[in-house]
Amino acid sequence: MTTPDPDGLLAEQLLRLTRRVHRIQKRHLQQRVLGITPAQSRLLRTLAEYDAPPRMADLAGRLEVVPRAVTTLVDGLEAHGKVRRVPDPTNRRVIRIELTDDGYATLRELHGARRSAAEEILAPLTDVERRVLGALLDSLVDGGGGEGQC
């Protein structure tokens, strides 16, 4: 007879929750008919975190993806008028990516979709439970200060 693996069960629950969160967020995005993928929405949110338009390499590093993946995402967003490529004012060889007015409007819609999805996901929890969950998730995200520790 095998003994239950509580850590394995927790890991499975976290994976199931992650999949549920992605499904619900995707549905809320589709309901708003923004015409962008979850990966593109992540790029828009990341782009908005910068004080000045970043280079593609900066975005790739922040998103933890290969530069080619950022190029594909930017191509799609640029085709829909959400971002534009602009030359760096100090180095003409460098291209930076900036949000357009339509990109900012889409970002506002994205925030609304994420807020709606979060409300749906967190609906079963009380305010106290939400605060406790937030603290627990912070601990897990921070991982005790170092990634890859054994």
63 closest CA partner among 91, 38, 80: 38
Q: How confident is the model at residue 150 (pLDDT cuts 50, 70, 90)?
A: very low
CATH class of 31-122: mainly alpha
What pLDDT shows up at residue 3? 66
Q: Domain-by-domain residue ranges, the chain?
A: 31-122
Residues 103, 115 contacting (CB under 8 angstroms): no
Give the integer Cα–Cα distance in Å for 37 and 15: 21
Residues 58, 64 contacting (CB under 8 angstroms): no
Share of the chain above pLDDT 90, in %: 60
Which of 51-55, 106-110, 131-135, 145-149 has the lowest average pLDDT?
A: 145-149
Q: What is the pLDDT of residues 2-52, one digit of tens each?
A: 666 778 888 899 899 989 988 888 888 788 777 788 889 899 999 999 999
Kindly tell me if the per-residue pLDDT of 96 is higher than 70: yes
Q: Where would I find the beta strands (DSSP E) of 7-87?
A: 83-87
Tokens of 3: 């003994």
How many angstroms from the chain centroid is the CA of residue 31?
A: 18
Q: Is 33 helix (H, G, I), strand (E, B) or coil?
A: coil
Q: What separation in angstroms does the CA of 27 have from each of 52, 76, 83, 109? A: 31, 20, 23, 13
